[in-house]
Amino acid sequence: MSRHVLITGASRGIGAAVANHFVAQGDVVVALSRSGDAPEGCAMSLSVDVASSASVAGAVKTAIDAHGPVDVLVANAGITRDGLAMRMSDEQWRDVLSTNLDGAFYSARAVLSSMIRARSGRIVFMGSVSPFYGVPGQANYAAAKAGMVGLARSLAREVASRGITVNVIAPGFIDTEMTAGLGATSDDMTALIPMGRMGTTADIAAIVGFVASDAAGYLTGQVIAVDGGLAMGL
Ligand code: NDP
């Protein structure tokens, strides 16, 4: 049976690959992003700023009015505004916290009542290995992604009895626009990955697909690193 899958940050990169995965399964995919772009086959695409509670609430209402209760949320939208902590501006700090952490919370909160009524649901947050590994220049990003783990685990306990699972996927170093243009840093990072390559967006989409599947009904409150071994043991 096809499910209603809502994905934030679905216009490109990991979110677009996740959208393609669910579209290929025959699911009804609603893609949210600032640009409103979406991969082919999505049932609906909406322009939203996840850092705005009202924007997220409005988009989720539109999606539910059109396609019914949300079965799967993939809260994936994210940005980087890198800089050494000593020189990081208030704006760099706030922008990343607002989009990456506030946005994840607003998205989850907006779908919860429909999932609770349905007594089932899958919430998948797109985290990162960065809070476990520590990345110079990414204090804002790592803090936001660490906060996401606390959000996910608290939420997981709140809604487990309603048949809703909440998990975090923690990608390592994935080939997208976010990591493009890192030049020599990219080679240095790749050298640290036991599997010897950057991850692909399809590597991440496959694991998101599993976590959102019926087969993963007993998996909740977990952080699943998909990183070619980069952060193993952390
Ligand atoms: P991209 O930069 O390729 O894509 C980011 C996506 O987020 C775009 O669809 C963008 O769409 C959307 N987005 C950004 N800000 C907002 C906003 N305020 N409101 C709505 N949508 C927004 O990034 P990736 O695909 O690489 O990353 C996706 C997720 O995976 C992020 O959360 C990132 O932190 C995480 N991640 C990525 C890793 C990597 O190595 N690439 C590693 C670990 C985690 P638009 O511009 O149209 O708004």
- Nearest protein Cα to ligand 1, atom 44: 128
pLDDT at 181 over 80: no
CA of 161 to the centre of ligand 1 (A): 31
Residue of higher predicted confidence among 234 and 54: 54
pLDDT at 98 over 80: yes
Atom of ligand 1 nearest to the CA of 204: 30
- Nearest protein Cα to ligand 1, atom 32: 78
Give residue 101's pLDDT. Answer: 99
Atom of ligand 1 nearest to the CA of 50: 19
* Number of Cβ within a 10 Å radius of residue 84: 10
> Strand ranges (DSSP E) for the chain?
4-8, 28-33, 44-47, 72-75, 121-126, 164-171, 223-226
- pLDDT, tens only, 36-51: 999 999 999 999 999 9
Instruction: Taking residues 49-72, report their average pLDDT.
Output: 98
Q: What's this model's pTM, rounded to 2 decimal places? A: 0.98
Q: Verify whether residue 133 is a known catalytic residue.
A: no
Give the distance, in angstroms, between the CA of residue 60 and the centroid of all CA atoms in the same chain: 16
pLDDT at 53 over 90: yes
11 lines ligand 1 (CB under 6 A): yes
pLDDT at 99 over 80: yes
